[in-house]
Copies of this chain bind each other. A is one copy, B any other.
């Protein structure tokens, strides 16, 4: 059914995994794949894959499986990767510098188009082909370049204020690497990705 019911975050987190795997298959000239095969490689229950996908439409063929090219196209559309998405990077420290190099991997029309930092020493310097801009100019540049997503790699102390400014400027989604919880009243999606927390959680499983 072409209906779109409420989609859980868990489903949305799996879609990029499916997409990546399907793209691998595409490169190998594979034309068709079953949920069984997909599940085996990705370590995901085949029933779950079918259920996830069926929430967006009837993409498969009974007795056959899924057409790789077609499914890629559909998932890309669902994830809005069939449109150009401009991304801002805030914080040109070690992690920010590393991430600025990810532009190469962010095909799919997603692209870091601006980098901001508060440090006067860094402003004006080049990073991955982009000039580091001051935070003051953030709002103007975001509007001018129609930037819709942002990655925060500032220190914790600056993260909330930077987020406030980003949201004020109209940013719709934020990926936060600073080890602090960012809150907002607005309808903005915020994803926290904190290395220290990840490592600490992992430590629980030692022994």
**A contact residues vs B (CB 8 Å cutoff):** 7, 9, 12-13, 15-17, 19-21, 41-43, 78-81, 85, 87, 94-95, 97-99, 101-102, 105-106, 108, 110, 148-149, 151, 172-175, 179-181, 183, 189, 191, 193-207
A149 close to B189 (CB less than 8 A): no
Distance between A128 CB and nearest chain B CB, rounded to angstroms: 10
CA distance A204 to B15 in the complex (A): 10
* Cα of A84 to Cα of B200 in the assembled complex, Å: 12
A202: chain B residues within 8 A (beta carbon): 149, 173-175, 189, 191
Q: Is B181 a contact partner of A42 (Cβ separation < 8 A)?
A: yes
Interchain CB contact under 8 A, B20 and A173: no
- Contact between chains at B43 and A201 (CB < 8 Å): no
Bound complex: CA of A85 vs CA of B5, how far in Å?
45
**Contact assessment for A200 and B149 in the assembled complex, using a CB-CB cutoff below 8 Å:** no
Chain B residue numbers with a CB within 8 Å of A12 are 201, 204-205
Copy count, this protein chain:
2
**Across the two chains, which residue of chain B brings its CB closest to A40?**
B183
Residues of B within 8 A of A173 (CB): 202-203, 205-206
Which of A16, A43, A149: most chain B Cβ within 10 A?
A16
- Expressed in whole angstroms, the Cα–Cα distance for A198 and B79 within the complex equals 11
A79 adjacent to B17 (CB under 8 Å): no
Bound CA span A149–B17, Å: 24
Q: With A193-B193, A196-B102 known to touch, is A15 a contact of B201 (CB < 8 Å)? A: yes
Cα separation A189 to B101 with both chains bound (whole Å) = 29
Cα A43 to Cα B190 in complex, Å, equals: 12
Q: Is the CB of A183 within 8 A of B16?
A: no
Q: Say how far A178's CB is from chain B's closest CB, in angstroms.
A: 11
